[in-house]
Amino acid sequence: MAKRNTKELILTTSLELFNQFGEPHVTTNHIADEADISPGNLYYHFRSKDDIVIELFKRFLTRFQPLVEISDQMLLQAEDLWFQLHLSFELKGEFRFLYRNLSDLTARIPDLDRAMRGLLKRERQSAWNSLSGLEKAGVINIDSRQKEMLADSILLALTYWIPFSELFDPNGMEDSSAQTRAIARVLLSVTPHLQDPEKTQFTDLAYQYLSHPA
């Protein structure tokens, strides 16, 4: 019991510090200090700093996995799409340090690189599936190349909205406006391809949340 507590403590402390200061600027001493344990104790529970990052990533992955298992029949309503994006963005925000230094982390940690690439692949697939669903429902009108490029655009926005938002408002991830704007951007990248009445529905929903963030 006590065993688990310290390990958890290290993880939650690390996550907080990584998110706040950026993973490269947080040292193991810093973590130990903040968690009120000794550096030696930290290394009793984790082999290395990278190990902490990997463990945090695993936690993220476990919770994120269900959110990217999207068939082509799940997200046909604007509200469903919004809600799914909301859940996924919320979770990414909780682990935002991962997305702030993505290139660096993947370059440094091969395990993370593999896992992240797999995740991105599945995320792209789920974006593609969502578009397919709208297509089958006769709601969207789009040729296959455009569909692929759109899925890529969505994936890009899904992957980099966090550092992008922080560029303009470094501490802005605390409130939810950055998140809301990011979701709206994704939705509004799809709406131009839609037919009415769905086009208006999706657009209005995006505007509604932009005005009154959930």
List residues near a copy of itself by CB under 8 A: 22, 24-25, 100-104, 106-107, 116-117, 120, 145-146, 149-150, 152-153, 155-157, 159-161, 163-164, 166-168, 181, 184-185, 188-189, 192-193, 203, 207, 210
DSSP string, 109-142: -HHHHHHHHHHHHHHHHHHHHHHHHHHHTT-B--
The site string for DNA over 185-204 (x = CB under 7 A, - otherwise) reads --------------------
Binding region for DNA (CB under 7 A) out of 34-42, 85-93, 126-134, 181-189: 34-42
Residue 19 C-beta: closest distance to DNA, Å: 16
Under rule CB under 7 A, residue 37 binds DNA = yes
Binding region for DNA (CB under 7 A) out of 31-39, 63-71, 111-119, 133-141: 31-39
Helix/strand/coil for 175: coil
Binding region for DNA (CB under 7 A) out of 24-32, 76-84, 120-128, 129-137: 24-32
40 or 138: CB nearest a copy of itself? 138
Under rule CB under 7 A, residue 41 binds DNA = yes
Under rule CB under 7 A, residue 43 binds DNA = yes
10 or 151: CB nearest a copy of itself? 151
By C-alpha distance, which of 124, 70, 47, 61 is closest to 98?
A: 61
In terms of DSSP H, where are the helices of 137-176?
A: 144-168
Own/partner pairs for 19-27, CB < 8 Å, 24+ apart?
Answer: 19/95, 19/96, 19/97, 19/173, 22/97, 22/100, 22/101, 23/53, 23/97, 23/100, 23/101, 23/105, 24/101, 24/104
The interface partner of residue 107, options being DNA, a copy of itself, none and the CB cut-off 5 to 8 Å by kind, is a copy of itself
Q: What is the total count of residues that contact DNA (CB under 7 A)?
A: 22
Q: Are 46 and 107 in contact (CB under 8 A)?
A: no
Rounded CA separation 131/73 (Å): 10
Binds DNA by CB under 7 A, chosen from 22, 33, 34, 39? 39
Quick one: how far is CA 11 from the chain centroid?
19
10 or 109: CB nearest a copy of itself? 109
What count of other Cβ atoms lies within 10 Å of the Cβ of residue 198?
A: 19
50 or 148: CB nearest DNA? 50
- The residue type of 25 is H
